[in-house]
Amino acid sequence: MPSEYRKGSHTIFSLQFHLVWITKYRYKILRGEIAQRTKSLVRRICEEEKAEILSGVISPDHIHIVLSIDPSISVSTLVRYLKGKTSHQLQMEFESLRKRYWGQHLWAWGYFAVSVGNVTDEIVKQYLEHHFEGIEGEDAFRIDQP
């Protein structure tokens, strides 16, 4: 089994997602101490939620991050934790953010999410075609029986 798979008590998985979210009004606030604190908060939240950071970038007005997540948590739940907890904590710690956002949301509504990995649609199709060689019919959802 390849080393890129992660293991849980009863699971073996590789669920990877590219996530992007932006600051409200696209303000370029993620600089210096705020960017450093955001990075540490995102790392801590990911550790708490069993999400492994594979790569990421904190730009002045948005965050790109590629994560491997545990199957026990949904992407939407993880993003809600990341955006909610970082917004709350950053506004508590930085008065300039409290003034700019009046104690409201630091992040814009929504986010971008896409699954990533090294298995393409073509590889899956080839596997299925090979697996069902010699079986008649056009059904794309079949039962594997000898």
* Helix pair 32-48, 75-93: axis angle to 10 deg: 140
Beta strands in the chain (DSSP E): 6-7, 12-13, 16-22, 52-59, 62-68, 112-116
Our answer to whether residue 25 is catalytic in this structure is: no
Sign, CA torsion 34/36/42/44: negative
Spatial distance between the Cα atoms of 121 and 15, rounded to a whole number of angstroms: 16
Cβ count within 10 A of residue 77: 12
Catalytic residue among 27, 81, 111, 127: 127
Q: What residues are labeled active site? A: 127
